[in-house]
Structure 1
Amino acid sequence: MEKEPHWIGHRTAERRQTESGYVYRDPDNQSLAIILGISAFHTAGSLFDGANLWEVDRFVEGLEACNDPVAARYRARLSLIRELHKNGDLKACLPHASLINAEMRAQEVLESERRRSEALELACSLTAQRLFSGPSPSPSPSPSPSPSPSPSGVATAAKPSENVPPSRPGALRIGPNSKESTDTFIICRSREMYSEGTARTQREIAEALEREMKDAGYRGERGNYLSVATIERILPAGLTGGRAKNGRNA
């Protein structure tokens, strides 16, 4: 024999799901659920803006599960609505139901904004991955003559390469780099510096980047080192609340 589903929900709203929907254990709750589901009852149909009783119960139970400070307030109003319905006074339920409706709508808006924010973060992450998918192809080096053997017991010192591949996506090469590469590197590193707290103002970030690029041997497309002023102009607008591209305060 198939076992019946367990009753779920708050003790004042015990219910279980069937093939035709939710069934309440308490006959008065079941009566209220049926009335809310019939649009012909004008007063009751507008009670929860068309929401089913189980949706309202689940919403309040969710607040309680999260220890939301407003949970007790809405539980009290929902219990009062049930009591007023039992006494046949649905009209008196409207002020209490309107407050629950407002909270449900606010939660929906917050959830929608959260999903939108997560989608934007994912889009930015994917864009960054495409921008820094790897170093640009470099010409194949011409074969160099084999070095002469070193004397026994003497190690040969490795000669520094003038075109070392980037150590990570978005890194520059020793020597000249294209404007697109240097701009991308400056934008990326400036955001890292700001988030790490190593530099806070646009001027500090530009000065730190100027030193870092010079120490690493990263030059601009004309073969010269970028100045602090040049780097500061490339920084993303509004990064530190400084001046935007149009010269106005961000």
Structure 2
Amino acid sequence: MRENAGTKSANNTACLTLSNITIRLGGRMLIALTAGIAPGEVLTIMGPSGSGKSSLLAFVGGFLDPAFDAGGRVLIGTRDLTEIAANQRHAGILFQDPLLFPHLSVGGNIVFAIPAAVKGRSARRRLAEAALDEVGLGGFYDRDPDTLSGGQKARVALQRVLVSHPRFLLLDEPFSKLDAALREQTRELVFSKARSAGLPTILVTHDSADAEAAGGRVIEIGMEEQG
């Protein structure tokens, strides 16, 4: 029986807590919030460009530019991640662009993210093929990423994140560059995968349809400055 590569992390997730997070730039307050995100829950942060949405994700992920003045704590379960390096936080991140490696095959992109604990080329390939099968891309292992449609690239990027067994997901407007039909389909896939894997998820967007599809709480930021 094939292993379900996309949902194995479900047993290892915990609540993601953002405790008294503040982010300032040049003395201007961009973010001030406290929130808890349960496994499988999506918290949506909505706001216009420049409101600090992506900066919040960068702080939670551990890669915020030092030009920002940030404070507060990020915890997964009881473990404080605030001072832990980005590559040790095990955040799964999806951006506007899929960012597939052009020098690797479709399957190679998936294999790249499989934890080193999985040994052997054949075992790693089997996991990658199973991950592609899950999203309707069976037989695509040896394909060049440049031959894929936008929706197919988005599915590969999602599965690459999930096979890495993340503790939580950070979604930085990952649907914004897809056409309307693909956007709806990809939203449904991403949110269903997050729920089935039990991953606490933060989505940042300026699109109310994204927030509606996510189905969780919505926090709006930066609206007064735009008024």
TM-score interval for Structure 1 and Structure 2 normalised by the shorter chain? under 0.3
TM-score by length of 2: 0.24
In proportion to residue count, which structure has more strand?
2
TM-score by length of 1: 0.22
Structure with the bigger RCO (C-alpha within 8 Å, sep 6+) is 2
Larger radius of gyration: 1
